[in-house]
């Protein structure tokens, strides 16, 4: 038994992770499997979800799911329910966007809301309906410091993550009596393949300079690693955190309070 299993056991638990094919979602799926959980990797990228599940091994299965499509969410969640009880749902799927209120198109605003807000609503609704009938469970939503602070050029993204926090508190309140806990993690910048791709696309030849700048935006002087978010996710979804609900955990390297 490794340290993750010993400290934060998820043995016997079944978990869904949306957006589990890459980045933070993949890190959480890996960490959950190491902690003993059976993991369902949900992602709209069928090839990526399959690759993630194969990498994780026997503890993981892949399911194609477009979180913004109600029929796709219903079908994906029902396929998981058919194998038994769902204990944990991690809503990690989402998209970013750069723009202000005047430079964001209606199409881009709607796309961000459709995936980040509607998608989280559809997945949370599916999970809650099942958990209520099964004696409870845990829902963990991936929010962002963008939903808590004024960040430049992040109008649609910040709006969506503010909505995620509001949904988190509402779910925690409404289903307290059903044994369902609901919390959120709000990371600052996390070093994922998305960040590498964004920098390479927008700052060719200046990658090292921009990565340094992005890291220095956090008072600790670097970006978070996906595994650090995953470690917090494991604890919040474990029985050790049974007293924690309706909470938001900034994982921000001091960004909110130490700038």
Give pLDDT tens digits for 98-154: 999 999 999 999 999 999 999 999 999 999 999 999 999 999 999 999 999 999 999
What per-residue confidence (pLDDT) applies to 23? 96
Residue 15 has pLDDT above 80, yes or no: yes
Q: What is the pLDDT of residue 8?
A: 63
Q: Does a structural domain hold residue 3?
A: no
The order of strands in the sheet holding 180-187 is: 60-64, 38-43, 14-18, 88-91, 137-142, 180-187, 248-251
The reply to whether 95 and 219 lie within a common domain is: no
* 5 band by pLDDT with thresholds 50, 70 and 90: very low
The pLDDT of residue 194 is above 90: no
Residues marked as catalytic: 157
Q: What is the pLDDT of residue 202?
A: 80
Residue 6: predicted pLDDT = 46
Residues 124 and 206 in one domain: no
Domain that holds residue 215: 191-223
Report the C-alpha gap between 118 and 113 in whole angstroms: 6
Number of separate domains in the chain: 2
Average pLDDT for 51-56: 98
Q: Is 2 inside a domain boundary?
A: no
Mean pLDDT of 4-29: 88
What is the predicted pLDDT for the residue at 182? Answer: 99
199 — pLDDT class (breaks 50, 70, 90): confident
Percentage, residues of the chain above pLDDT 90: 92
Instruction: Give the closest residue to 91 by CA, choosing from 115, 113, 112.
Output: 115
Task: Provide the pLDDT for residue 214.
Answer: 92
Other C-beta atoms within 10 Å of 123: how many?
Answer: 25
Question: Based on the domain organization, do 128 and 198 belong to the same domain?
Answer: no
Answer yes or no: is 257 within a domain: no
Answer whether residue 32 shows pLDDT above 60.
yes
On whether both 154 and 229 belong to a single domain, the answer is: yes
pLDDT given at position 7 = 53
- What is the reported pLDDT for 258? 94
Structure tokens at 175: 């289903």
Of the ranges 3-7, 26-30, 86-90, which one carries the lowest mean pLDDT score?
3-7
pLDDT at 3 over 60: no
Query: What's 14's domain CATH number?
Result: 3.40.50.720
Is the residue at 203 inside a domain? yes
Which tens digit of pLDDT belongs to each residue from 209-227? 999 999 999 999 999 999 9
pLDDT at 9: 87
Burial of 152 (0-12, 13-18, 19+ CB in 10 A): exposed
At residue 1, does pLDDT exceed 80? Answer: no
With a cut of 70, say whether residue 82 has pLDDT above it: yes
Residue 106: CA count within 13 A, CB half-sphere: 0
Q: Write down the pTM of the prediction.
A: 0.94
Distance in angstroms (rounded) separating the CA atoms of residues 26 and 42: 10
Domain shared by 70 and 142, yes or no: yes
């Amino acid at each position: 038994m490794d340290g993750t299993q010993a400290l934060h056991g998820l043995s016997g638990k079944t978990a869904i992770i949306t957006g589990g094919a890459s980045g933070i979602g993949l890190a959480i799926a890996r960490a959950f499997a190491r902690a003993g959980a059976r993991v369902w990797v949900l992602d709209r990228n069928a090839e990526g979800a399959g690759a993630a599940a194969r990498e994780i091994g026997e503890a993981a299965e892949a399911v194609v799911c477009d979180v913004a499509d109600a029929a796709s969410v219903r079908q994906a969640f029902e396929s998981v329910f058919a194998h038994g009880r769902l204990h944990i749902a991690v809503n990690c799927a989402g998209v970013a966007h750069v723009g202000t209120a005047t430079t964001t198109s209606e199409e881009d605003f709607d796309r961000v809301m459709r995936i980040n807000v509607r998608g989280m609503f559809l997945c949370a609704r599916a999970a809650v309906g099942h958990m209520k009938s099964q004696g409870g469970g845990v829902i963990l939503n991936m929010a962002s410091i963008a939903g808590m602070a004024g960040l430049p050029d992040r109008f649609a993204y910040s709006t969506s993550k503010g909505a995620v926090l509001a949904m988190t508190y509402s779910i925690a309140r409404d289903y307290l009596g059903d044994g369902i806990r609901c919390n959120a993690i709000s990371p600052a910048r996390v070093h994922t393949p998305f960040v590498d791709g964004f920098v390479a696309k927008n700052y060719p030849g200046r990658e090292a300079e921009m990565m340094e700048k992005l890291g220095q935006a956090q008072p600790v002087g670097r970006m978070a690693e996906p595994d650090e978010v995953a470690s917090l996710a494991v604890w919040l979804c474990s029985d050790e955190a049974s007293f924690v609900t309706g909470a938001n955990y900034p994982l921000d390297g001091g960004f909110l309070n130490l700038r």
